[in-house]
Structure formats: structure tokens, C-alpha cells
Amino acid sequence: MKNEQICSMVKDLTPIYYSNQTSAFTKETVDEHLSQCEECNVYYKAFQQNKMAATEEIAKEKTNFFAKAAVRMRNRKRKQFMLITGLMLAFFICWNSTFKNTIMVSSSMEPTIGMSQHCLINKLAYTFQKPQSGDIVYHWADDISGYDMNRIVGVPGDTILIENGVLYVDNEVFEEYKGKIVKTNSSVESYSITLNEGEYFVMGDNVENSYDSRLYGAILEDDIQGKFMLKYKWRNWFVQSEIRSTDDVEGNEE
């Protein structure tokens, strides 16, 4: 076989020879020819360098690809974190603007709300409507310089009468306290009051042991901070405030 033909054959075999995919005989033949032919040896070295450069370029492209992918992933995670954080912040702002968590530390609303019972208050309940008779409200009481929770038994315009242990509202027995002995919490036999505009008369469901409007009088509409929604069991650290008990008030008075 002529030398030109052998050189052409070796050049054709160079790719598979470089990747070690030839048979032992072919490899031995090409090795022998490269050691004898300067032209083919230069060709093979150039091919080898090109392959190495191409391999390096591919490796560099892969490195750049994964680096860019890592940056994109970090940016995506950062955006997801910011989105979740923003949603959580918006949720807590809306929650705190709408609801209030508190704990009942007196027995004035038993058995409806027991002592140490956690409660959820809707602070926006009366944004578009007036408090109604029968509602349990969370309100400020000047007499105890704190917040209290009681049931509305009288609204503006109502006449409240406590007589012979019975609570009357506009001459009708108050339905929720029917059958209960309602005291005046004073030395008089009967108690009567007509509520003015913006005044509400509140009482605790534990009518025989409740610190309410029978002692500190009617409360104002502006004193009502929200409506009782539900009671639940939760950890104490979740509670934002506490309602003062009648024991604390009596202790302060002494």
C-alpha cells in the first residue's frame, strides 16, 4: 500500500483512534505509522489539541450553564421567599386589624365563657352595624380601668328594670336570663335606667357574681372594641391581653 494511502487511512482513523475505539491490531498499526510519518504525527497532534480545546470549551459551557442555573434558582428562591414573607405579613396585618385574642380571667360570663378561656374577638363586627341586644362584647370599663367582656341586655332607647330578681327590658323579661335570679348589686330592691343615644347596658351571664353595668353603669358605644366570636384552647403566649377579674378590682378598691 502506498504511503499516501496509508496516511489517508490513518487520518480517517484518527477520531476513533483518539477515543480508543479501534481494535488492538489497528491501534498497533496506527502507532507504528505515527512513529514513522512526521506529517501524520503533526496531524494527529493538531487533532488532539483541537479535541482538548473543544473538551475544555464544553466543560466551560457546562460550568457557565450550571452557574447560571444556580443563580436563577437562587433568584427564584429569593422571589418565593419574598412572596411568602409578603403574604404572611399581609395576613398578619389583616388578622391583627380584624381580630383580637384575649383570655377571660373572671367568672362573670360563666357558663358561656369559663375562667381562663381563650377567646377570639372580631374588632370589625360593628363597622357597618350597631351592637345588638344579646351580643357578647369586648369593651372598656372606666370603673376598672381595663377591658371587660359582657352581654348586651339593653341598647339605646331601652328601659332596663331589675325587680324581684327579674330583668326586664321595655317591660319584657330578658329571654337569656329567664329563670335566673338577677340582683341589683345595691341596697335597693329595684333598679331602673333608660338608655340614652350611644349607651349600652351590659351584664355577665353569671348574673349572681358578675361585675357589670349594675355597678359601673351603662357603657358608651365608643367603649365597645369588638364582638365575641368563639372560644378556643391555645398557648398563653398567643394571648395579646387579659380581661381583669372582679377579684383584682375588689382588691384595688380595698
CATH number at residue 179: 2.10.109.10
| 65/113 same-domain check | no
pLDDT for the residue numbered 234: 65
Match 351584664 to its residue by C-alpha cell.
Answer: 203
Q: Which residues of the chain fall below pLDDT 50?
A: 1-2, 236-254
The reply to whether 228 and 128 lie within a common domain is: yes
pTM beyond 0.85: the answer is no
| 125 and 243 within one domain | yes
Same domain membership, residue 148 and residue 46: no
What pLDDT, on the 0 to 100 scale, is given for residue 133?
94
| pLDDT tens by residue, 134-157 | 999 999 988 777 888 999 999 999
Tell me, what's the pLDDT at 235?
57
Cβ atoms of 244 and 172 within 8 Å: the answer is no
pLDDT at 159: 95
- Backbone φ/ψ region at 20: left (φ over 0), alpha (ψ -120 to 50), beta: left
Q: Which among 97, 129, 150 is the end of a domain?
A: 97
Q: How far apart are CA 204 and CA 108, in angstroms?
A: 5
Peptide bond into 15 cis (omega under 30): no
129 & 239 share domain: yes
- Give the number of residues written for the chain: 254
Q: Which of 67, 97, 127 is the last residue of a domain?
A: 97
**One domain, residues 203 and 87:** no
Do 79 and 110 belong together in one domain? no
- Written as nine digits, the cell of 167 is 330583668
Q: Are residues 227 and 156 in the same domain?
A: yes
- Grid coordinates of 102: 384575649
Both 208 and 244 in one domain: the answer is yes
Output the nine-digit C-alpha cell for 180.
335566673
Q: Count CA atoms closer than 13 A to 247's CA, side-chain side.
A: 5
Residues 82 and 28 in one domain: yes
Q: What's the CA gap between 94 and 76, in Å, rounded?
A: 27
Residue with cell 457557565: 64
Strand 99-104 to 117-122 pairing:
antiparallel
Return the bridge partners of 219, or none: 200
**Nearest to 141, CA basis, from 96, 197, 200, 185:** 200
Asked if residue 18 lies in contact with residue 51, where contact means CB atoms within 8 angstroms, the answer is yes
Number of DSSP helices (H) and strands (E) in the chain, helices first = 5, 12
Residues of the chain above pLDDT 90, percent? 38
What is the phi/psi pair of residue 195, to 5°?
A: -80, 135
Domain that holds residue 50: 1-97
| pLDDT value of position 250 | 44
Domain identity same for 150 and 41: no
Total domains in the fold of the chain: 2
Q: What is the pLDDT of residue 63?
A: 84
Closest to 214 measured CA to CA, from 170, 175, 160: 160
Does residue 125 sit in the same domain as residue 68? no
